[in-house]
Amino acid sequence: MLMETPWWRDAVVYEIYVRSFADASGDGVGDLPGIRQRLPYLAELGVDAIWLTPFYRSPMADGGYDVADYRDVDPLFGTLSDFDELVAEAHRLGLRVIVDIVPNHSSSAHEWFQAALRGEGRDRYIFQDGGESPPNNWQSTFSGPAWSKTPDGQWYLHLFAPEQPDFNWRNPEVHSEFLDVLRFWLDRGVDGFRIDVAMGLYKAEGLPDTPPEDQAFKAESPIWGRPEVHEVYRDWRKVLDSYEGERMAIGEVWTDSAEDLALYVRPDELHQSFNFAWLEAPWSGPAFKKIIDDTLAAVTAPTWVLSNHDVIRHVTRYGDGLTNSTTGLARARAALLAMLALPGSAYLYQGEELGLPEVKDLPPEARQDPIFARSKGELAGRDGCRVPIPWSGVAEPYGFSPEGTRPWLPQSVEWAALSAERQSNDPGSTLGFYQEALRARRELRGTLPDEIIWLDAPEDALIFSRGPLTCVINCGSEPVRLPPHDRVLIGSAPVEGHLLLPDTAAWLHTPEA
């Protein structure tokens, strides 16, 4: 008997950055009721699941990735019953729900950290004596030292903002607390978890000074990817497996090696891990080919992602940094077809289906990412990919918030033609293209082998096939001759004749021999 493929293996998951998706309450910030109202749009888009970024109680020092209470909804986003209604409605529409979990650090407003500051239970975090200077040379990912001093002279570790103290995972209480948090949300019906900074959690014993190059996200570092972390995921896997309905977890694992990534998805650990290699790669046929080969060689349940709430939107990345570049948009559409043709699952980021570019001209006083303030404005930070979505209308708030409300980040004056309403019912729009591509993928679901076969291609193009599907991507500057086929299933731009233009991709149907 054929084993049924678990839903997550080839799912298309849509990331919702909750603050910026849809504001039902009218305070300028997205919320859970706003998401619920927009679920039909996502069902029509054709995704299988949504991933919600943190909506838990939080002072919002890092947009909710600073969690003060892991078992409650922040009033900014709604209530627990709003959450339950959202899950029920998503399930009714056939959409699974993945929620974020943030185990590396809490908010400094968390009751455990507040108790620690009073001298109670400090062992749940990483406190050290250090005198005048910090206990070691570790730097925060958000700039500046990774240590802050408490009024009584001890230092605590925060690999991100000072408002995000790192937990001490060597304390069994931390371990059992998170098992309980997982159960709390699983009992409420979530289908999976996205694990924030999944390669964090444990730090090398003795917290040694570390050369700067080894402080970056990489496979072997005293700060990231410690071997002990895998025990945590083995325990989490047991909890997930004890529930009905194929509950899953995907790790946010930043590393420099596909082999290291593979460790997180061993059969008794996480189901998936993000594969950021493509998102970090330039627009280049050979670079894409190497990433595809390395990924498929290393992991059996691959994932693909082009954008998320932490990186420059790929329309802008591929357009050599030019906002609104038509080249960037053409390449972004082509990259989508490539990603959707590969075995495994694909993660989309809200707004990419509208072809949104990065907003690069946010005024300094509007910027809220702690990276901007901590680097004293040297680094722009991530606000430019987090600008609220344009749903309708020709000016701010573009249907994101009720008329008259200013969204928490200013929207671009150039977005009138990009709103979801304007693009709907226009098959030539980026939204129409995404709908068509997702429909084409669904039609092929379950019919394609997991292996891909490379066909001969010019150096800056990729041509691979999976059974009757052949995908051609032209990253070069000359047209590419299409291989034999009986019809074009979809193109990222119109395909005429037997040549594929630069910055274009197409799916071809080839009758099987």
Residues that bind ligand GLC (CB under 6 A): 62, 65, 102, 160, 196-197, 252, 309-310
CA distance 398 to 423: 13
In this complex, which beta carbon is closest to ligand GLC, that of residue 23 or of residue 310?
Answer: 310
Q: Compute the least distance from the CB of residue 237 to ligand GLC, in Å.
A: 21
Q: Is the dihedral of CA 395, 328, 308, 244 positive or negative?
A: positive
Q: What's the closest the beta carbon of residue 258 comes to ligand GLC, in angstroms?
A: 20
Q: Which is nearer to ligand GLC, 196 or 396 (CB)?
A: 196
Decide if 196 is catalytic: yes
Q: Tokens at residue 416, please? A: 């009138």
Q: For residues 488 and 121, give the distance between their C-alpha atoms in angstroms, rounded to a whole number.
A: 63
CA distances to 19, 30, 389 from 78, rounded to whole Å, are 11, 10, 19
- Cβ 16 to ligand GLC shortest distance, Å: 13
Task: Find the shortest distance in angstroms from Cβ 17 to ligand GLC.
Answer: 9
The Cα 15–Cα 13 span in angstroms is: 6
Query: Catalytic: which of 66, 82, 196, 352?
Result: 196
- For ligand GLC, give the closer residue by CB, 191 or 196: 196
The residue number whose beta carbon is nearest to ligand GLC equals 65
Cα torsion angle, 35, 36, 40, 45, sign = positive
d(CA 166, CA 201): 8
Among the listed residues 15, 48, 74, 252, the single catalytic one is 252
The minimum distance between CB 65 and ligand GLC, in angstroms, equals 3
User: For residues 102 and 420, which CB has a smaller minimum distance to ligand GLC in the complex?
Assistant: 102
Structure tokens at 196: 């924030």
- Note the Cα 285 to chain centre separation in Å: 23
Q: 3-state class of 116 per DSSP? A: helix
> Quick check: helix, strand or coil at residue 99?
strand
Q: Which is nearer to ligand GLC, 185 or 224 (CB)?
A: 224
56 and 68 Cβ atoms separated by less than 8 Å: yes
Comparing C-alpha atoms, which of 443, 442, 476, 445 is closest to residue 459? 476
Structure tokens at 254: 């930043």
Q: What's the rounded Cα separation, in Å, for the pair 178 and 240?
A: 13
Q: Which residue number, 34 or 63, has a Cβ lying nearer to ligand GLC? A: 63
Closest CB 210 distance from ligand GLC, rounded Å: 19
Catalytic residues: 196, 252
